[in-house]
Amino acid sequence: MYRAEDLNQLLRYLSLYPSYLGSKVLVSFYGKINEMFKARELFDSLKSQQNNTQDMDLYNRMLKCYTDKGLADEAVTFFEEIMKISSTPHPDICNTMLSFFTHTNTIYTVLQFIKEMKAKGWVLDASSYHTLINYCKYLNRPLDVLFFYDEMKRAGLKPLRATYGVVVDVMAAKGMTKETERIFEEMRKAEEDITARHINPVLKMCGKRGGKDDILVILNQMNEMKVKPNSSTYSTLMSICLTNKLYNDVFFWYNEMIDAGISPDVHNLIVLMDTYKEMGQIEKAQQIFKEAESSGIKLNAKIYNRMMTLRTDMVTDEKLNLVMNMKYRSIKPTTLTYEILILSLLSARRLAVATEYYIEMRSLNITPTNKFYSKLIWYAQKGLPVCDIIELRHQKEQFYPNKTEEPIPLK
What whole-number percentage of the chain has pLDDT above 90?
60
Query: How many residues would you count in the chain?
Result: 411
Task: Give residue 49's pLDDT.
Answer: 77
CB 319 within 8 A of CB 341: yes
Task: For residues 40 and 334, give the distance between their C-alpha atoms in angstroms, rounded to a whole number.
Answer: 41
Please count the other Cβ atoms lying within 10 Å of the Cβ belonging to residue 340.
Answer: 21
Is the pLDDT score of 357 beyond 80? yes
Please count the other Cβ atoms lying within 10 Å of the Cβ belonging to residue 209.
Answer: 9
Task: Give residue 409's pLDDT.
Answer: 44
What whole-number percentage of the chain has pLDDT above 70?
93
E strand or H helix at 14: helix 4-16
Task: For residues 183 and 177, give the distance between their C-alpha atoms in angstroms, rounded to a whole number.
Answer: 10
Return all residues near 260 (Cβ < 8 A) that are at least 6 apart.
Answer: 229
Task: Give residue 104's pLDDT.
Answer: 83
Task: For residues 277 and 176, give the distance between their C-alpha atoms in angstroms, rounded to a whole number.
Answer: 32
| pTM higher than the cut 0.85 | no
Average pLDDT over residues 95-122: 90
With CA atoms as reference, report the closest residue to 60 among 31, 92, 83, 87: 92
CB 59 within 8 A of CB 97: no
Q: Label residue 317 exposed, middle or buried (CB < 10 Å: 0-12, 13-18, 19+).
A: exposed
Average pLDDT over residues 223-242: 92
Distances (CA, A) of 238 to 229, 254, 257, 262, 264: 13, 7, 10, 14, 12
The 10s digit of each residue's pLDDT in 273-329 is: 999 999 999 999 999 999 999 988 999 999 999 999 999 889 999 999 999 999 999
Q: Where are the alpha helices (DSSP H) in 266-382?
A: 266-278, 282-294, 301-308, 316-328, 335-347, 351-363, 370-381
Task: Give residue 410's pLDDT.
Answer: 39
Task: For residues 371 and 374, give the distance between their C-alpha atoms in angstroms, rounded to a whole number.
Answer: 5
Task: For residues 252 and 243, give the distance between their C-alpha atoms in angstroms, rounded to a whole number.
Answer: 15
